Structure 1
Amino acid sequence: MDATEGPLAGIKVIELATVVAGPGSGRYLADFGAEVIKVEAPGGDPTRRMGWTGPGEQDAYFWKLVNRNKKVVSLDLKSEQGRADLWALVADANVLIENMRPGKLEALGFSPGALHAKNPGLVILRVSGFGQDGPYAQHPGFATIAEALSGFAGLLGEADGPPLLPPIALTDEVTALGGAFATLVAVRHAERTGEGQVVDVNLLQSMFQIMGPLVSAYAHMGYLQPRLGSGIPYTVPRGTYRCADGVWVAVSSSSDSIARRVLDLVGLTGDERFSSFQARSANREALEEWISAWIAERPYETVVAEFRRVDAAIAKVLDMRDIFADPHFKAREMITEVDGVVMQNMLANLSKTPGRLRHAGKAFGADNEVVLEPLHEKDAVG
């Protein structure tokens, strides 16, 4: 399958976004065949310099992952030529992705109204910290702030410890997925009606969506979930536990049938304190203490073998070294190599219309000639 194939072939995306959330949406579209043209300002996307860089390489691994499968051009949108080139690019595009602070796109002369006057079917994905309007719209929007405001950070950590933040770009990745999904919904509408629209996706709303029933529980019951370490209120036992040989495992019992098998295994058969979800939650500390002690008395291999024997859910807590040796990751080809860079493979496996990784994120201005020169030649002829 070449670059013109894939389920999203024929969809042209102009990406003005930087860092992770907006470009992440573009990445998922590019992985499945969309032509994504990433437009960088002079100096380049900060992701080129974010995190780890290979020996002798200028661009970081983060850049090469998030911007794989994209064409890369450089434009100075503060210049007349740069703005003219962008207008030429969006004239026949299906999607524009941007993540400037609300109002900045308008200040550059590319308001949604002006864009739709030029291209009525254009889908404009606007990724921001807090949305295009509201009291926080103009605040600096980073994942950390969204994690705090959404209620997510307040749930992370031990009961007697401070709230914590995730040690990966979780909010950006969640927002990227939401942005790609919402964009395809809007593209479907445009294909049917010819009408483009603005898609307003932001870090705060994306994280708020994953808070599950906590919104309803507070609204109707006044319930505020406390910090529970690795636990959650409605599944007990659930958490990470240390085996006798120091290996950590994760256990979950998110159904009554599995919970009963775990209770039978550890010697709590018929204990009324743990007979239902509600009972187990009410007696959380006693049950967690019992499970922790049972696991702590046995080495990892024994613990896993016993849980597997009764068909209960358990897994070793892996680090990257473990993952690279894990047979399931290998069998599923979840790790691949693109242009000499080892990275995650596709997000999903489609049996009829799979995506394809064509190349890693390219060097700055790599496609200026192939993308921009035809525009200039057209202008000269015109």
Structure 2
Amino acid sequence: MSGPLSDIRVIETGTLLAGPFCGQLLGDHGAEVIKIEDPGRGDPMRQWGRERPYGKSLWWPVVARNKKSVTCNLRREEGQELVRRLVARADVLVENFRPGTLERWGLGFEELRALNPGLVMVRVTGYGQNGPYAPRAGFGSIGEAMGGIRHITGEPDRPPSRTGVSLGDALAGTMAAYGAVMALHARTRTGTGQIVDSALYEAVLAYMESLLPEWEVGGYRRERTGPVLPNVAPSNVYPTADGAAVLIAANQDTVFRRLAEVMDRTDLADDPKYATHTARGAHQGELDDLISAWTASHDAHTLLGALHTAGVPAGKTFTAADMLTDPHFAAREAIVRLPHPDFGEIPMQNVVPKLSATPGAVRWAGPGLGAHNDEIYGDLLGLTRAEREKLTADGVI
């Protein structure tokens, strides 16, 4: 075990994405994450993201990496007792059930901190632990809508769009992990744990920049603008002769002058319509047309080489294929490859951020269902083989 959290034990009872993503982040940085799954079915993420020809989830190995899988029926009294015994030996409990679910099972915070006063309980839900919407079911997409990101994502003449990934879940999971680490730090001073309440919609809202004061104070409502950053130009996606899409962000005055020099159009930097940030924003459309006509006459490789040499921020829109062959990704070890029993080898994103003295690591891909039952229930809790076999026969584990 390595990483800054290598002395921390986490019990993860959440399913699908937001709670498990929190567990993934903690595990990436060394925490021992014991994932509790329903016997027989496991986390639904084991079935999500199926890709031919494998017929198995290619998402599960990523979101469950570094975790130890044990099975436990939380609806059974015997299963609830196993959780209590695990929590007594843990630092963090991660859950993303609807508010009140753990309380109905006798696993609420008050009951558990009586067993372990230092317990940090991380609760990830759609709407938080209180308020009129708290009892509602909440998925990431609904949190994205309520938090504001959906309304401003997509093209202006089309309905709101998703970003292509489960952004709401990832943000809520990230905030949950952030909260867990803060609560653990506070515990070093107080000696006691606390609840971390991470709501999907609030995690999204936290990233919405100046959306609220723009509306209330400035009377401006953000809308969908596609790839354009309104009134900030040039900052857009531009075509190339070989069909690629290149982003160019040259909206600062000095950077725009460098772009104009690369285009061999230094006159643009002196033109009153484009000479200042405000002027370029006011003539954004026509400036983008000028730049598009220029980029369309060059292939992406030549274009990007000239822009980078001139110090103009620019980049190709990467696909997975680009990432897997890019020298910078390789030099930074941004992608790691792991052995896998079904796929032979599987690539996935490496741990972020990078720590110089206590780096995290991806130690193994998502495990099989109940792969660590003997280690956790036998070695950690001390259950005999006969006791484990009886719990298995009774459908508890």
Q: Which interval holds the TM-score relative to the shorter structure?
A: over 0.9
- Corresponding residue for residue 314 of structure 1: 314
Check conservation: 2:329, 2:335, Cα contact below 8 A: yes
Q: Which residue of 2 aligns with 1:221?
A: 218
Aligned partner (choices 163, 167, 183) of residue 164 of structure 2 = 167
Matches within 5 A, 1:191-206: 191-206=188-203
Letter of the 1:360 partner, please give it. Answer: A
What is the aligned partner in structure 2 of residue 342 from structure 1?
A: 347
TM-score, L = length of structure 2:
0.89
The answer as to 2:143 corresponding to 1:143 is: no
Partner of 2:91: 94
Aligned to 1:66: 63
For 2:249, the equivalent position in structure 1 comes to: 252
Residues 1:13 and 2:19 aligned together:
no
Deviation, 1:322, is 1.7
Higher deviation after alignment, 128-137 or 15-24: 128-137
- Distance (Å, rounded) in 2 between the aligned partners of 1:57 and 1:309: 46
Task: Structure 2 unaligned segments of length 5 or more: list them.
Answer: 340-344, 388-397
- 1:361 is displaced (CA, Å) by 0.8
Task: Give 1:64 deviation, angstroms.
Answer: 1.0
Query: Does the 8 Å contact 1:238/1:251 carry over to 2?
Result: yes
Does 1:85 pair with 2:82?
yes
* Residue 371 in structure 1 maps to residue 376 in structure 2: yes
Distance 2:203 2:22 in 1: 13
Please show how residues 284-323 of structure 1 align to structure 2 within 5 Å: 284-323=284-323
Q: What is the aligned partner in structure 1 of residue 326 from structure 2? A: 326
Distance 1:276 1:106, change over 3 A: farther
State whether residues 231 and 282 of structure 2, in contact with CA within 8 Å, keep that contact through their aligned partners in structure 1.
Answer: no
SS at match of 1:288: helix
Equivalent position to 1:44, from 37, 42, 45: 42
RMSD across aligned positions (CA): 2.0
What is the CA distance between 1:54 and its match in structure 2? 7.3
Question: Is 1:271–2:276 an aligned residue pair?
Answer: no
Please list the CA deviations of residues 130-150 of structure 1 after superposition, one character each: whole Å capped at 9, or x if unmatched. Answer: 211223222221121122222
CA contact (8 A) 1:72 1:365 kept: yes
Identify the residue that residue 392 of structure 2 maps to in structure 1: none
The 3-state SS of whatever aligns with 1:274 is coil
CA distance in 1, matches of 2:304, 2:374: 57
Q: Which of the residues 169, 178, 184 maps onto 1:181? A: 178
User: How far apart are the structure 1 equivalents of 2:99 and 2:277?
Assistant: 45
One-letter amino acid of the structure 1 residue matched with residue 376 of structure 2: V
Q: Distance in 1 between matches of 2:370 and 2:244?
A: 47
Distance 1:265 1:225, change over 3 A: farther
Q: Is the 8 A contact 1:54 1:61 kept in 2?
A: no
Equivalent in the alignment of 2:342 = none
Task: State how many pairs are aligned.
Answer: 376
Q: Percent identity?
A: 38
3-state SS of paired residue (2:122): strand
CA separation in 2, counterparts of 1:312 and 1:175?
Answer: 34
CA distance in 1, matches of 2:52, 2:360: 26
Query: What is residue 282 of structure 2 aligned with on the other side?
Result: 282
Deviates more, 1:341-350 or 1:255-264: 255-264
SS of corresponding position for 1:177: helix
- On the 8 A contact 2:240/2:300 being kept in 1, the answer is yes
Distance 1:24 1:113 in 2: 25
2:105 is the counterpart of 1:108: yes
1:124 counterpart residue number: 121
Local SS of the residue matching 1:76: coil
Deviation of 1:94 (Å): 0.8
Counterpart of 2:154 (choices 153, 157, 165) is 157
Local SS of the residue matching 1:221: coil
Q: TM-score, normalised by structure 1?
A: 0.93
